Structures are given as C-alpha cells and as structure tokens.
Structure 1
Amino acid sequence: MAARRIAVVTDSTASLDPADAEREGITVVPLKLVIGAATFTEGVDATSDDVAQALKDFVPVSTSRPTPEEFAAVYARLAQEGHDAIVSVHLSAEISGTFESAQVAAREAPVPVMCVDTRQVGIATGFAAGRAAAVARAGGDEAAAVGAALAAGESSSVLMYVDTLEYLRRGGRVGAATALIGSALAVKPLLTLRDGVVVPLERVRTSAKAVARLEALVAEAAEAATEGYDIGVQHLANPDLADQVAERLAGVLGRDRLPVNEVGAVIGAHVGPGMLAVTVTPRPG
C-alpha cells in the first residue's frame, strides 16, 4: 500500500526563502500589506526595505491576512495534484487571523486539511513547517506531521530586541501601557512569545546591554537543546548588528556561521526598523 501524499502549507510570515520552500515541498500563501493607499503582496511586490522606509517616513502601514478563498484555492490545487491530505502550519492565532482563514477554508476542502497554530512568529513558524514537511517526505501521515509542527512551535525560543515598542503598540501587538512604560523609562526591551503573544521579557537600560543579554539567553536556549537545534537570526534594516550578533553567537555555539535574514515585510511592519531576533528550535530526540 502506497504512503499517503501529504502536502504542507504555510504563510509568508514564516520567512522561508522561496528556494528552501520549493526544495522542502512547502506551499506558501502570502499576506498583504497596505503602504499609504497602495496594496502589496508579501514576497511578490513588497519588500522589507519598502516597509522600513515607509515606517521611517511615517507613511501608514497595515497588514491583512489571506482570505479563506485564497486558502481554498491552494487546498483545491494541491488536492488536484494528487495529495491525500494537507497540513497547514501558521503563525500564532493570537497575532493574526491567518490561522482562522485557513480553518474556514479547511472545512470545505476536497481532502482533509489539518490546521496548526504554531503559537509562534517568523522563522519559528518556518522551522515548524519544515519539520512537518520532513515527516511527510519520510512517509509519515498527517497526524505525525501535525505533531512535529506543534512540537517545534511549543519548544521554540524567540528572543527579540526592538528599538521601540511604538510599532508593536500601533498594531495592537503589545498593550499601550507596556509601550508607554518602555518609552517613559527609556529602556531597550527584550521580547519573547508566551502563549502565542508577544510579551516583554526583560528591560535593559542600553542597546549594547540588551544585545549582550539577548546573546546570553540564546546561548542558554541552545545549551538546553540536548539533541541539537535549528537557529536563525533575523532583523529589519539592521544588517550590521545582525551580522555581528551572528558572528559572536557562532563562536560561542561552535558553529562556522549562523543564517542571517531580513524579516518579512509583514512582521517588519509591526516590529519596526532596528529589530533583531534570534530563534532557537530544538530538534526532537
């Protein structure tokens, strides 16, 4: 009996390089951005640089999830291509309605679709989708692929440094009181995700101390991953700092290099220029 063909879908906030997504057999559904009066599609005609410049110029920037109809079209195409089931892996439902759109589309899909809320953002979602795809390529069924994605999301550590909480406040991703405290005290906040929500982790007085503390926390997370881990460094309009952090961490962690990428335009719209994030996702035993 032939193994079931399982397709894996994710969204553009997963920060997957198109070549990597194609190699791993992952279909990416894009989110939309509105910059000023113009609407763009992430990964198609909107770049992180466009978003960073708009934010610096005080041009209004907002984002929108894929519609259920867009997901439905993808699911129908994958079914037509001969897949027996689909695992759809997405960013935290507490942050975006993308997961909800996927769920709505899944109800009418021609093959079973299992939707996964990773409770994460950025490359942590990408790592979770990659784990699901690896299970599917190895002949695992959809339940095993879902389990792998959920485990990756649950075990991931996402550590973020931002210059200001203002952009997260504008998008409703942190409370106004938290943002106000950060501004009033002139602190540099370190953030993480807890229960699918962006929350303050620590407040540090200077950016240099904040970055040093972030590196220490990353090293702790990596050391705790006894079976190995995937790691990625992301930034928005802050390549020099990202490269420096990646180089220092590579030395501490005993690696030749760490991958550094600019965060996707949609996430960039909410974190603002200057953001630096490091994600550590332990590998299963």
Structure 2
Amino acid sequence: MTVQIIADSACDLPASVMDEYGIKRLSLTVHLDDQDYKDGETIQPKEVYDAMRNGKAPKTSQVSPQSFKELFENLAKEGQDCLYLAFSSELSGTYQTAKMMQQEVQDDYPDFNLNVVDTHCASLGHGLVVLRAVQLAKEGKSLDEITELSTYHLQHMEHIFTVDDLEYLKRGGRISKAAAFFGTMLKIKPLLHVENGQLIPLEKIRGAKKVLKRMTEVMEERGVDLSDQPIAISHGDDLERAEKLADMIRDQFGTKEIHIHQVGASVGAHAGPGTIALFFLNAPYK
C-alpha cells in the first residue's frame, strides 16, 4: 500500500479483518475485576457482556501514549506515509493523545508523513471509514487523497442505534442520569444517533419490536443510494436481531454489502448487551 492505515480498536473491526487488510491496530484498555485488558486482544466482547449481565461495571481507558509513540516511531523509521483514523474525540481522549505523540515523533523525524484524523465516529461507523481508507490505499492513492475522501465519509456517516438498558450509558457518563431514569421507568426503547461525535437521543420508542422498523425508516429518510453503498450493523451479543435488521434492509433497499460484527469490548463496556447499531452514508458513496 502507498499509505499505512492505522485504527484503534473502537472501530470494532475484528482482528481477522484488520489483518486481512493490513491495518495497524491500537487497543483501548478495558478495566474489569481489578485487571486491565487489551480490547480484542486479551479480552473479547462476549466476556464483557457476560460480566455486565452479572452486574459488573467495566471501565475503559484510551490508547496509551507509549503505544502511539512506539508505532509511530517504527513507521517513521520505515519511511512509510501513514493515516491514523481515531475514535471520536467526544467519546475518548485517544485522538488528543495521538496528536501529542504525532508532534513528538515528527520533531524527531521531520520527514515522517503522518495525518491524524478525528473521525467523530464510533463502532462500525468508524470501521466503515477505515475500510474505505484502506481500499483507497490499495488503489495507490496518496496520503492527501485518502485523507480527503476519508474525511468525506466520516462527515456523512450516520449512526443510528438502540440499547437494551440506558443504565449502561449512564454509568459511563454517556447520557444523563435523568435520561436513563426516564427511559427505564417507562420501559421505553431509546433510539440514539451521533451528532458531532456525541451520543444524542433521537426518539423514544415504546416496545422493542418497533425499534428495528423505525431504524429502517430513519435509514430511508437519511440515506442515499442505499442499494449501492456498504452499510454496517454492530450488535452487543445479539446476532439474531442484527441479522433480522440486515434482512429487513436487504428486502427494503436491495443493499448488496452489509458488514455485521459485534460491538467490541471497549465500546460495548458503555453500550451494554443487546445494543443494535446501524451505519450508512447520508451522501453519495465515493
């Protein structure tokens, strides 16, 4: 590849996919039972979801400065142009840490071409941006060209998702206590989206069965060329519902390429088991 693509584990692409495409991976940390684990390496999503179902409250922390510095230095020594696509800065400090380490390494290796981009995305919304970037790299596009097209994708990436229990998002500070209490008391299933990198409540839907249908309705309202763009569905240990949503989308829009993967350990520690998330572009695919 002309450009090395780097992503962190919050993109929720499995290790097998990262390896297949030659994407360099940096793992966030999951704290559980007084132990630290590397997301997707020393702990898998299923372990986190089972722990949460048993009343435990895992925490997460960003990619360490040392991890960034070691990777960036190694790539600088190889003279490799690089693009790091980071988890939303509104949900993690990972992007800011990467920018600090970028400056340090480029001070020592002034010819090192590294772009660090805040995707303002999470889970497979982030993952779809990463996959498009690596496809462009394999086509021989330049660092600036890949950065420009990746920026287009991240700016137009829709995140529509629902969670089984708002308590998990409350614990992680992702929504207010009042919002969590309101949703739980009324047995409401929330529909949320991402706006400027932040999790924002979109609608409150009474009854779990209506949620998937409403997700496809929002997709129709916001999406463009839905039959011809790749979309993604991530799930919190609920493959059955994820596949049901995929079937609904294929039937309604004729979508040809649908990626289905689990919400990873670091994102899942906040969203919780039963999460279903849908990602697509609200502009033409480029």
Q: Same fold (TM over 0.5)?
A: yes
In structure 1, the residue corresponding to 2:258 is in which secondary structure? Answer: coil
More moved, 133-142 vs 116-125: 133-142
Distance in 1 (alpha carbons) for counterparts of 2:139 and 2:268: 34
Distance in 1 (alpha carbons) for counterparts of 2:257 and 2:104: 44
In structure 2, the residue corresponding to 1:237 is in which secondary structure? Answer: coil
Equivalent residue, structure 1, for 2:195: 194
2:235 counterpart of 1:235: yes
Q: CA RMSD in A?
A: 1.9
Distance in 2 (alpha carbons) for counterparts of 1:200 and 1:185: 15
Q: CA deviation at 1:165?
A: 1.2
Q: CA deviation at 1:77?
A: 1.6
Equivalent residue, structure 1, for 2:20: 23
Equivalent residue, structure 1, for 2:94: 98
Distance in 2 (alpha carbons) for counterparts of 1:226 and 1:185: 34
Alignment of 1:116-131 (within 5 A): 116-131=117-132
Alignment check: 8 A CA contact 2:2 2:141 kept: no
Cα pair distance change 1:154/1:59, threshold 3 Å: same
Alignment of 1:169-188 (within 5 A): 169-188=170-189
After superposition, what is the alpha-carbon deviation per residue over 1:10-44, rounded to whole angstroms, capped at 9, x for unaligned?
10111113232233332111111011111111111
Distance in 1 (alpha carbons) for counterparts of 2:141 and 2:8: 22
Amino acid at match of 1:271: A
Q: CA deviation at 1:118?
A: 0.8
Alignment of 1:1-285 (within 5 A): 5-83=2-80, 85-109=81-105, 110=109, 111-222=112-223, 224-225=224-225, 228-255=228-255, 258-281=258-281, 284-285=285-286
Alignment check: 8 A CA contact 1:124 1:158 kept: yes
Cα pair distance change 1:283/1:20, threshold 3 Å: farther
In structure 1, the residue corresponding to 2:100 is in which secondary structure? Answer: helix
Same amino acid, percent of matched pairs: 26
Distance in 1 (alpha carbons) for counterparts of 2:256 and 2:83: 33
Amino acid at match of 1:114: N
Structure-1-length-normalised TM-score? 0.92
Distance in 2 (alpha carbons) for counterparts of 1:165 and 1:226: 30
Structure-2-length-normalised TM-score? 0.91
For structure 2, the 5+ residue unaligned runs are: none
Aligned residues: 280
More moved, 92-101 vs 14-23: 14-23
